[in-house]
Amino acid sequence: MNAVTITRLKSEEIKPKIGSRVLNSKEELLSGELSAEINELLEQRGVLVFKQLHLTEEEQVKFTNLLGGNATEIGVDGGAIFSISLDAGEHHKSVIEYLKGSLFWHVDGTMNPVPVRGSILTSKVLPTWGGNTEFSNCYAAYDDLSQETKDQIDDLRVVHAMWVSQLYHTPEPSMEQLNDWMSKGTQELPLVWHHSTGRKSLVLGNTARNVVGKDYEESARILHGLREFATSEPYHYAHEWEVGDSVMWDNTGTLHRAMPYDPDCGRLLKRTILLGDEPFS
C-alpha cells in the first residue's frame, strides 16, 4: 500500500499583531496544495513573507492564479505583472508620477467598486539606500480601539479621491496634472469595512479626503488620528528587502507604503495582484 504524503503549510509569526514568514519550498507553494491555507493565513496575519523564493515572472503569475486569480495590472495591456520602479526606462512619466504616491500610507483600489484582494511583490534590484516596504494591520488596529471610539466611527463614511493622494508628493501641480488626477473621480467608502467574515477593518490612506458630514478640520483629526494609531506599534511591520524575497499582503485590511529611496538607483520589484472578491461595505 502506497503512503500518501500530505503537504502542510509551515510558518512562523514575525510579530504578534502582524506578519508571518512562510517556510515551505517553492515547489510546495507552486503545487497548489497549500493555496487555501495560505489565503486563510493571509487574512489572519495581514502580511506573508517568503524569503529568498526567487520566483520568476512566470512562477509569480502562476502562484497568484493558484491563490484565486491574477487581475490585470494597471497600465499593462493584457498584462499580469507590473514593474514597481521610478526608472524612466520602465515607465512613462505619468506612471512614475502615480507611483510616487506609494511613498505614503495607502490602500490599493479605493477608486474601484471592488478593490484588489491583495498583492505580491518580488524583489529584483535593490536600492542603493532606503526602499523598505512598510505595512500596518488595520484589522488588529480596529479590534484594539476602545468601544467608545468604535461606536463613534462605525457608521462614518469618507470621500476618497486619487488627486488627493498625488498632492502628497506634488503639492503644487500644474492644471494639466490636476485635471488629469481629478478625471479619475471620487468614491464614498465606509471608514470601517464590515467584512463578510464578520470582521471589521479601518479604511484609511492618502486617498482619503474628508469624512462625510464633518468639516475638514474635524475630518483631518479623525483620519490622521486613526492612521497614526493603526501604523504604530504593535500593528506595524517594515520589510527589508533582499533580492529574491516575495511579500504578499491583504489589501482589504492592510495599509502599506514604500520608504524613500534614491529614484535613480534602478530599484525594481515585480508585482502581481489578487482578484478582488468583496466590495467595500
Locate the domains of the chain by residue range: 11-274
DSSP 106: B
Digit-coded pLDDT (tens) for 140-161: 999 999 999 999 999 999 999 9
Cα 215 to chain centroid distance, Å, stands at: 28
Q: Which residues contact 220 (CB under 8 A, 6 or more apart)?
A: none
Q: What is the mean pLDDT of residues 167-179?
A: 95
The whole-number pLDDT of residue 66 equals 96
DSSP 200: E
Distance (Å, whole) CA 250 – CA 266 = 27
The whole-number pLDDT of residue 4 equals 47
Strand (E) or helix (H) holding 160: strand 157-161
List residues bridging with 269 in a β-sheet.
84, 123
Is there a cis peptide before residue 234, judged by omega within 30 degrees of 0?
A: yes
Mean pLDDT of the chain: 92
Q: What is the mean pLDDT of residues 261-276?
A: 91
The angle formed by the CA atoms of residues 185, 189 and 194, to the nearest 5 degrees, is 155
Q: What is the mean pLDDT of residues 97-115?
A: 88
Of 74-78, 256-260, 269-273, least confident by mean pLDDT is 74-78
Q: Which residues contact 1 (CB under 8 A, 6 or more apart)?
A: none
Q: Is the entire prediction scored with pTM above 0.95?
A: no
> Above 80 in pLDDT, residue 13?
yes
Q: Which CATH architecture has domain 11-274?
A: 4-Layer Sandwich (3.60)
